[in-house]
């Protein structure tokens, strides 16, 4: 998406090569280069042509569409965040195993700088199942992935609070943005529940882009059952619905999404 404009009652988007390697192609619907909706004045205003009437776009890669057509013809929109003021040496990438039948998943910890808070953008990417991908397509190889970030006591490892989450989804990646408090230590926990029933191993890549270089980053390690259960519970309290049940004093959190249902009880 190169530009967004509102023209009267029309909401228009300028798109560039959404077909990728399958280009060249061209949009021939409303607001395309052959559409009768254009006026000469509007073409100049939106930069479709210059003052001499010469086309300014490669007609095989850039075109305008109405918002209604974008919603109808595109299933997803990926957003690339550009943090121009983030230092290049403040990028962290860790590869962690997702949980499977053979064992729990991996996690790691990071510590914020001592002198100031850090604004971070955290994305969890899942690797594709290359064994099946060529036969059935990547969409059917995706599993659910999510993320929980827990502030912990650096000495004991005891959890102090849930600092943030990325809502679980059956997508190639999920993302969240949050602030890490100066000098504090955080546990980064990728989640996947449908993959925990699979025998095959699959890794995730956690990418952290930070406004300031992090003080420390630990190597990934396998979670304990207590740590895994805590991450699941914290996720359910954020994204689930709380229900009071009997006997008094017991609360149940129910979290439902496209990958299934999580039920956690607190007493």
Q: According to the model, what pLDDT value does residue 50 have?
A: 79
For residue 235, the SS3 value is: helix
Query: Domain residues of the chain, as ranges?
Result: 3-73, 88-235
Please indicate whether residue 17 is annotated as part of the active site: yes
Q: How far is CA 99 from the centre of its chain?
A: 19
Q: Which residues contact 32 (CB under 8 A, 6 or more apart)?
A: 26, 63, 64, 65
Which residue has better confidence, 190 or 41?
190
Domain 88-235: assigned CATH number: 2.60.120.380
Count of beta carbons in the 10 Å neighbourhood of residue 247: 6
pLDDT in tens, 147-165: 999 999 999 999 999 999 9
Cα separation, 159 vs 239, in Å, equals 19
pLDDT in tens, 189-240: 999 987 656 656 788 999 999 999 999 999 999 999 999 999 999 999 999 9
pLDDT in tens, 104-151: 899 999 999 999 999 999 999 998 765 554 544 444 578 899 999 999
Question: Among the options 17, 50, 60, 267, which is catalytic?
Answer: 17
Mean pLDDT across the chain = 86
Cα separation, 123 vs 206, in Å, equals 6
Do 6 and 46 form a contact (C-beta atoms < 8 A)?
no
Cα separation, 11 vs 68, in Å, equals 8
What percent of the chain is modeled with pLDDT above 90?
50
Listed residue (120, 124, 99, 100) closest to 111, CA to CA: 120
Cα separation, 69 vs 190, in Å, equals 35
Cα separation, 25 vs 19, in Å, equals 8
């Amino acid at each position: 998406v190169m530009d967004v404009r509102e023209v009267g009652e029309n909401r228009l988007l300028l798109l560039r090569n959404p077909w990728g390697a399958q280009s060249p192609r061209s949009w021939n619907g409303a607001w395309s280069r052959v559409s009768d909706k254009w006026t000469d004045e509007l073409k100049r205003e939106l930069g479709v042509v210059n003052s001499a009437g010469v086309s300014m776009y490669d007609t095989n890669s850039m075109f305008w569409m109405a918002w209604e057509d974008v919603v109808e013809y595109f299933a997803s929109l990926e957003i690339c965040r550009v943090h121009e003021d983030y230092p290049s040496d403040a990028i962290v990438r860790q590869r962690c195993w997702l949980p499977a039948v053979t064992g729990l998943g991996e996690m790691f910890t990071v510590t914020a700088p001592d002198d100031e808070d850090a604004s971070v953008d955290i994305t969890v990417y899942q690797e594709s199942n290359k064994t099946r991908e060529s036969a059935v397509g990547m969409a059917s190889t995706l599993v659910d992935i999510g993320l929980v970030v827990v502030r912990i006591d650096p000495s004991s490892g005891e959890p102090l609070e849930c600092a943030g989450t990325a809502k679980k989804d059956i997508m190639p990646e999920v993302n969240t943005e949050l602030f890490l408090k100066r000098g504090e230590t955080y546990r980064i926990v990728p989640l996947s529940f449908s993959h925990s029933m699979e025998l095959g191993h699959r890794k995730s890549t956690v990418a952290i882009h930070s406004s300031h270089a992090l003080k420390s980053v630990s190597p990934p390690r396998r979670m304990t059952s207590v740590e895994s259960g805590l991450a699941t519970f914290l996720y359910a309290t954020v994204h689930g619905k709380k229900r009071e049940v009997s006997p008094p004093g017991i609360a149940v959190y129910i979290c439902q999404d496209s990958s299934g249902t999580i039920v956690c009880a607190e007493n």
